[in-house]
């Protein structure tokens, strides 16, 4: 499992011209699931994302989590994060979880 987190002022996902998800300020999470990932590893990642201090507190330090900052979370499935690129010039997506399971 690999996650790429980005703090955003707003984010939205549009599929075939229709908005399928959107948030105001918060965290945009691109998530790649691997064949070996389990529900338990997913729960641990979610817990970490929810507790991650990503936002400025009253002192201007990154001391608040997304809930304390009043933000949202937008999760986007991104199998390309699981690509193996160490060999050759073509990414190998073999480690990614099949879409029907993800």
Q: What pLDDT was estimated at residue 13? A: 97
Q: Which candidate in 20, 41, 80, 85 is catalytic?
A: 80
Residue 19 lies in a domain: yes
Q: Let me know if 80 is a catalytic residue.
A: yes
Residue 38 lies in a domain: yes
Read off the pTM.
Answer: 0.88
The CATH number of residue 38's host domain is 3.50.80.10
pLDDT tens column, 40-77:
999 999 999 999 999 999 999 999 999 999 999 999 99
What gap in Å lies between CA 88 and CA 3, rounded to an integer?
A: 24
Residue 56 lies in a domain: yes
Q: How confident is the model at residue 99 (pLDDT cuts 50, 70, 90)?
A: confident
The number of distinct structural domains making up the chain is: 1
Answer yes or no: is pLDDT of 102 > 90: no
Are the C-beta atoms of residues 37 and 98 closer than 8 Å to each other?
Answer: no
Residue 75 lies in a domain: yes
What gap in Å lies between CA 59 and CA 33, rounded to an integer?
A: 36
């Amino acid at each position: 499992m690999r996650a790429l987190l980005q703090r955003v002022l707003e984010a939205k996902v549009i599929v075939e011209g229709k908005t399928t998800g959107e948030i105001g300020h918060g965290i945009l999470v691109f998530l790649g699931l691997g064949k070996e990932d389990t529900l338990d590893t997913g729960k641990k990642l979610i817990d970490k994302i929810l507790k991650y201090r990503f936002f400025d507190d009253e002192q201007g330090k990154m001391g608040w989590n997304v809930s304390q900052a009043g933000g949202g979370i937008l999760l986007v499935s991104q199998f390309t994060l699981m690509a193996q690129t160490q060999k050759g010039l073509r990414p190998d997506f073999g480690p990614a979880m099949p879409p029907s399971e993800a």
